[in-house]
Structures are given as C-alpha cells and as structure tokens.
Structure 1
Amino acid sequence: MPVYAVPSLSPEAERAINVLGANAARLAVLSFISAHPKSLVSEITKGTGLTHSTVKQHVSSLTAAGVLNPDPDPSVPYADRRGRHTRYEANAERLAEDYLELGKLLGLR
C-alpha cells in the first residue's frame, strides 16, 4: 500500500489549498461569480456549462470556506427568506488572503 506524505501546513495554508485547489470546476465557478456578482446557481450553471449538482457542490464548499457571500445569508430565518433565491458574490478580501497564503507556501512572497 502506498504511503502518502502529509506536509505540516498552517490552517491558513490548508484553507487556501482547499479554496483555490487544483479543481478546474471549482475555479470555473469562482471565476464566474467573481465576474458576475450576485449570481444565482442557475446562472452559474448556464455560464460555466457545469451540471447543476456540480455547481451546487462547489458553491456550498466555497460558501463554507468563507470565500462566497450568499444573499440572503443562511442565518436569516427561513420565514424571512422563503421564496427568495440565493445569490452569491465573491468575498474579495478572503480570496486575497488565500492567494497570498499560497504565494507564501510556494516561496513567492
């Protein structure tokens, strides 16, 4: 059985890798949302050519990582957001932090 090296990375570096990782679909979703703020999942699906379920999965992961801001926020009571579709926009500050952390990890900064 192969043994995989597990480098010791800071939590910030781990988050940056998970957010920006080597996943073309995730980067396509993030790129589309960055270019088209306040996008609905259906708009992201159409704009990227990805399946609805793939977009939902990546939007969920990116939201959990704090790089997407949903509107309305999930903390808003259901009764107050019922009937409203969630729109997403990129959290530019958080993305910049992740980008800089990857640069440090690669020795570029």
Structure 2
Amino acid sequence: MPWYAAPALPPEAERAINVLGANAARLAILSYIVENPGSLVSEIAEGTDLAIGTVKNHLAALVALDALETDPAPSVPYAERRGRHTRYSPRLDRLVADYRQLGRLLGVDGE
C-alpha cells in the first residue's frame, strides 16, 4: 500500500488550500461570486457552465469554511424562509486572508 506524505501545515494554511486551492471548479465558482455578489445557485451554474450538483457541493464547502455569506443565513429555519432562494456573496476579507496565506506558504509573500 503506498504511503503519502502529508506535510505538517498550520491550520490557516490548510484552510486557505481548501478555499482557494481545491480545483478549477471551486475557483470558477468563487470568481463568479466575486464578480456577481448575491447570486443564486442556478445563476452560478449557468455562469460557470458547471452542473448544479457540482455548484451546490462547492457552495456548501465554501459556506462551511466561512468564505461565503448567505442570504438568508443557514441558521434561519426553512419554514421562515418563505420560499426565498439562497443568495451567495463573498467574504472578501476572508478570501484576501486566504490568498495571502497561500502566498506565505509558497514563499511569495506580497506584503
């Protein structure tokens, strides 16, 4: 059985990798939302040419990582949403921090 080395990274670096470095689909979704804050899942899927299921999976991960804000918030009970669809907006402060963290990890700290 192969052995894969897992470098010891600080939690901030692992978070930044999960937000920004996962794959092209996640970066396309983030890019679309940064350009179009307040987007619906269907708009994001159409704007990125990705399947709705793919978009939903990445959105769930990005919300859990606190990289996106939702309206209504996930804490609002489903019954109280009154048919409102969730809109996604970027947490620019978090994305910038993640971007800088990746730069530090790569040794290209731009500060």
TM normalised by structure 2 equals 0.94
Question: In the TM superposition, what are the counterparts of 1:97-108 in structure 2 within 5 Å?
Answer: 97-108=97-108
Which SS does the other structure have where 2:85 is aligned?
A: coil
Alpha-carbon shift at residue 2 of structure 1 (Å): 1.7
The residue type equivalent to 1:87 in the other structure is R
Aligned residue number for residue 19 of structure 1: 19
Which SS does the other structure have where 2:16 is aligned?
A: helix
Aligned residue number for residue 60 of structure 2: 60
Write the deviation string for residues 34-77 of structure 1: whole angstroms up to 9, x where unpaired. 10000000000110100010000111111111111010001123
Size of the aligned set, in residue pairs, is 109
Write the deviation string for residues 3-32 of structure 1: whole angstroms up to 9, x where unpaired. 111111000000000111140000011100
Show structure 1 runs of 5+ residues with no match: none
TM normalised by structure 1 equals 0.96
Show structure 2 runs of 5+ residues with no match: none
